[in-house]
Amino acid sequence: MTASPNASGPSGVLDGNLPEQPFGLPSPLIRDLRGVYTLWLRDVIRLWRDRVRLIGSFIQPLLFLFILGGGIRARFSGPNPSLDYQTFIFPGILAMSILFTASFAGIAVVWDREVGFLKEVLVAPLSRTAVVMGKVLGGSTNSLIQATILLGLYPFFGIHLSGFRFVLALGVMFLIGISQTAMGIALSVRMSSTQGFMVLLNFVILPLYFLSGAMFPMDRLPLWLAIFARIDPVTYGVDLLRGLLLGIHHFSYFVDFGALVVFGATMVWIAVRLFKQEAPAF
Amino acid sequence: MELHRALKYNHPMIEVEKLTKIYSSSRSKRTAVDDVSFSVPKGEFFALLGPNGAGKTTTISILATILSPTSGEVRVDGIDVRKDPHLVRQKIGVIFQDPSLDDRLSAFENMEFHGRLYGMPREVRSRRSEFLLNMVELWDRRNDLVRTFSGGMRRRLEIARGLMHFPQLLILDEPTIGLDPKTRRSLWEYIHRARREWTMTILLTTHYLEEADGADRVAIMDQGRFVALDTPAALKKSLGPEVIILETPEENRDSLRKHLVGRYGPSLEIHDEGEGRISFPLPSHERSSVQLIRELPGTILSVTVRTPHLDDVFIQLTGRGMVPTDEGTAPFHRVYRGKL
């Protein structure tokens, strides 16, 4: 015995004489979760439509990996003499791909504001937290998809990965993606032009990336660089990823993971706080 | 149940009491809405009319829960916009002045997205999308990306989307700015059709008196305050009669004046407008200006009938002119040219 909802009533119900909305309203939590899913789905559909972006985003990491990596390889002596430079930077290149694609989620927010679509989302009945979470998950999923394809190159670098470590690496990449997407969204809140945002992003992303130890070992650094590298939250994500893929890490897994989670949670919190002030003009 | 429903229907759709909104920054303070109170019963079509910067947009942004009031009470369908913004949002549909579609998604996906955000179950969404896309004549293009659509098609899609979740209050912010006359007409046709189907209250902001003419009541806003609130007919009546402007050759001028004085009596105020034109207010007992024009003696080169328009209301109420709009005053003039 199934109850017949209003929706499956006689034809005309959806187009006729109804003073009230002819569907039951979900609880606020369910509504927010559905909203998060809807925003996530939109980002994934858009990435799939925009395959040029999907393919184009591989070019930069590959250039770093093969040209820069190939050039420095001959003169490199890392923490372990048998370790080749290209293999050493491979986890760092994955982190770079995530950093750049995840920060793009911020550009997507600025873009939505520019074309007016953000207004549609902001007058919809879901909380600002749900809006931010939807964008964060959408952006980090996009960056995870791209990083996973790059991760698939691991056999070419003489890396052996168990299925378990592969999954752990995906988890770490997703966490880096979440914190970076949230950072991008937090930075995007006051921005009204994509060009301005690109400039801002370069001031933030490039230092974070270069200081992170993605391109060089953390031992034998000059003092000032060692200090800045320790302040940079991306360092811990790169270190964790390198530990999982290559078995080399400078900090303990516990420190790495803790720093990554604290950084991610802080960024999400800031993004939500800033987003609550968002008041679009009609 | 019936009693519950009856009680629900007793309160107005919009209740605004002593609403004030002050924008303050470190350097300045600006009062955008200044102690405004009004209420709109369910099913009414209410228009907010006024120049840019009058506070119309701020008022509707507060109703749409995007801005919070500095002070005052605002309720939509009895729900306080500050206490339960989500419940309010579920009840309102907004059609924005500027585009707000995702042009990388198809028409159907834009509708789907909206339906999901408003918690509509799948089968309700798809039937509702089909009905509305058919209404705005976009069903055949439902799977095309919005970026391939013309401006008029996008506008129609936005209307369909705004009606998707059966809003009880539809907020239209300057909805016809930049639209061609055909799209403008069909927009109103769709909205009136939707209004016949379910009880929907409409809140419109506009610069155009012509558009506010269809409203049940019009509030004229200036510098954050309501300067008038009445039915369009009453507002126009308060402005006085139509003014007739006649252009005639020099030799016909005197016989024309004599005819008019003979017809309406010596108290008729006839002004010389220069360039061979004279003007006079049409006395209220004259039933039709067309009848008068037919009966004028001699050669008439042109006749202009000026009906009172927003500028006149506005000047009368505030002593200042409205900011000129792109439309100018064209809709309010009817011009007959050539031999009559």
- The stretch B258-271 carries a mean pLDDT of 82
The sign of the CA dihedral B160, B161, B163, B169 is: negative
Q: Which one-letter amino acid corresponds to residue A128?
A: R
- The stretch B130-156 carries a mean pLDDT of 91
- The stretch B211-229 carries a mean pLDDT of 88
Q: How many domains does chain A have?
A: 1
- B180 CB neighbour count, 10 Å cutoff: 12
Helix or strand (DSSP H, E) at B335? strand B333-337
Give the closest-approach CA distance of B43 to chain A in angstroms.
Answer: 10
- The stretch B267-283 carries a mean pLDDT of 79
pLDDT-derived band at A21, boundaries 50, 70, 90: low
- The stretch A247-253 carries a mean pLDDT of 87
Mean pLDDT of chain A: 84
Beta-carbon separation of A279 and B165 below 8 A: no
Tens of pLDDT, residue by residue over A183-238, are 999 988 878 788 888 888 888 988 999 999 888 888 888 899 989 989 999 999 99
Beta-carbon separation of A127 and B97 below 8 A: no
C-alpha angle with apex A50: A44 to A55, nearest 5 degrees? Answer: 105
For residues A61 and A93, is the Cβ–Cβ distance under 8 A?
yes
pLDDT number for residue A17: 42
- The stretch B283-305 carries a mean pLDDT of 77
- Which three-class secondary structure state does DSSP give residue B117? helix
Give the closest-approach CA distance of B229 to chain A in angstroms.
Answer: 23
Domain containing A143: what range?
27-275
Tens of pLDDT, residue by residue over A161-182, are 888 999 999 999 999 999 999 9
Tens of pLDDT, residue by residue over A49-77, are 888 877 777 888 888 888 888 888 877 77
Beta-carbon separation of B100 and A279 below 8 A: no
What backbone phi and psi angles, to 5 degrees, belong to B334? Answer: -115, 125
Give the nearest chain A residue to B43 (CA atoms): A19
Task: Please indicate if any CB of chain B lies within 8 Å of the CB of A226.
Answer: no
Residue A167 domain flag: yes
> Cα dist. B73→A157, B15, B27 in Å?
66, 8, 27
Give the closest-approach CA distance of A131 to chain B in angstroms.
Answer: 10
Q: Which has more confidence, A79 or A34?
A: A34
- The stretch B6-25 carries a mean pLDDT of 81
pLDDT number for residue B302: 83
- The stretch A16-24 carries a mean pLDDT of 58
- In this predicted structure, which of B35-49, B80-94, B193-207, B275-289 has the lowest mean pLDDT? B275-289
Residue A166 domain flag: yes
Give the closest-approach CA distance of B295 to chain A in angstroms.
Answer: 50
Distance CA A110, CA A196 (A): 10
Q: Which domains does chain B have, with CATH numbers?
A: 2-236 (3.40.50.300), 238-337 (3.30.70)
Residue A95 domain flag: yes
Give the nearest chain A residue to B120 (CA atoms): A23
Question: Among residues A83, A119, A79, which one has the least CA distance to residue A220?
Answer: A79
Distance CA B72, CA A109 (A): 33
Taking only residues 144 to 183 of chain A, the set having a beta carbon closer than 8 angstroms to any beta carbon of chain B reads: none
Residue A118 domain flag: yes
Percent of chain B with pLDDT over 70: 86
Helix or strand (DSSP H, E) at A100? helix A85-115
Residue A16 domain flag: no
- A42 CB neighbour count, 10 Å cutoff: 26
Give the number of C-alpha atoms closer than 13 A to the C-alpha of residue B202, restricted to the C-beta side: 28
Mean pLDDT of chain B: 82
Give the closest-approach CA distance of B311 to chain A in angstroms.
Answer: 24
Sort out which chain A residues have CB atoms less than 8 A from B65's CB and list them: 123
SS3 of A129-197: the string is HHHHHHHHHHHHHHHHHHHHHHHCCHHHHCCCCCHHHHHHHHHHHHHHHHHHHHHHHHHHCCCCCHHHH
pLDDT-derived band at A41, boundaries 50, 70, 90: very high
- The stretch B9-36 carries a mean pLDDT of 87
Beta-carbon separation of A121 and B65 below 8 A: no
Instruction: Show the tokens assigned to B105.
Output: 């998604």
Q: Strands, E, within B133-254: which ranges? A: 169-173, 201-206, 217-222, 225-230, 243-247
Beta-carbon separation of B66 and A279 below 8 A: yes
For residue A114, pLDDT over 80 is answered with yes
C-alpha angle with apex B138: B134 to B144, nearest 5 degrees? Answer: 135
Residue A4 domain flag: no
- In this predicted structure, which of A47-51, B220-224, B292-296, B312-316 has the lowest mean pLDDT? B312-316
- The stretch B200-227 carries a mean pLDDT of 87
Q: Do the strands B217-222 and B271-274 form a parallel or antiparallel pair, or are they unpaired?
A: unpaired
pLDDT-derived band at A263, boundaries 50, 70, 90: very high
Residue A245 domain flag: yes
Sort out which chain A residues have CB atoms less than 8 A from B96's CB and list them: 116, 119-120, 282
Residue A77 domain flag: yes
Give the closest-approach CA distance of B337 to chain A in angstroms.
Answer: 42
pLDDT number for residue B254: 83
Beta-carbon separation of B89 and A124 below 8 A: yes
Task: Please indicate if any CB of chain B lies within 8 Å of the CB of A126.
Answer: yes
pLDDT number for residue B309: 62
Sort out which chain B residues have CB atoms less than 8 A from A21's CB and list them: 90, 165-166, 168
- The stretch A109-117 carries a mean pLDDT of 87
For residue A36, pLDDT over 90 is answered with yes
Sort out which chain B residues have CB atoms less than 8 A from A23's CB and list them: 119-121, 124
> Cα dist. A5→A25, A31, B227 in Å?
12, 19, 48
Question: Among residues B146, B63, B164, B55, which one has the least CA distance to residue B105?
Answer: B146
Beta-carbon separation of B100 and A119 below 8 A: yes
For residue B38, pLDDT over 80 is answered with yes
For residues B67 and A279, is the Cβ–Cβ distance under 8 A?
yes
- The stretch A126-141 carries a mean pLDDT of 93
